[in-house]
Amino acid sequence: MAQPVVHFEIMGGKGHDLQDFYAGVFGWTIDTDNPTGYGVVPAAEGGIGGGVGPGDDTGPFVTVYVQVDDLQEALDAVEAAGGGTLMPPTTIPGGPTLALFVDPAGNRMGLVEAP
């Protein structure tokens, strides 16, 4: 079975401005009640959840996260196929374990470990 896309991130500029934009345009409820102000977007019926927040020094970006059983195994497959690792497996305090990679075209993609 193929691994599913389970999360998205839309990041850039001032996070609250971007959160206001997406809430206003699409009617998304965005919960920023957390220490970082990261905007959590709950999954809607038929969709996936995600997040909206400020960018980093790489500029604005959109990332989709694919759920896998083994992050390192997936990163090894990415590298064997011509991609590269951006962030090795990293556990987010109070959250999931993630990794980031770049595909051969330069697209930033995420991996999240299956629970």
Spatial distance between the Cα atoms of 113 and 104, rounded to a whole number of angstroms: 22
For 25-63, write each residue's pLDDT tens digit.
999 999 999 888 899 999 988 899 999 999 888 889 999
What does the domain layout of the chain look like in residue ranges?
A: 5-113
Q: Give the CA distances from residue 46 to residues 30, 42, 104, in Å, rounded to whole numbers and listed in that order.
A: 18, 12, 30
Q: Is the pLDDT of residue 94 over 90?
A: no
CA proximity to 6, closest of 55, 30, 41: 41
Spatial distance between the Cα atoms of 39 and 50, rounded to a whole number of angstroms: 8
* Cβ atoms of residues 66 and 109 within 8 Å: yes
Name the pLDDT band for 1 (thresholds 50, 70, 90): low
Spatial distance between the Cα atoms of 38 and 112, rounded to a whole number of angstroms: 17
Mean of all residue pLDDT scores within the chain: 93
Please state which architecture CATH assigns to domain 5-113: Roll (3.10)
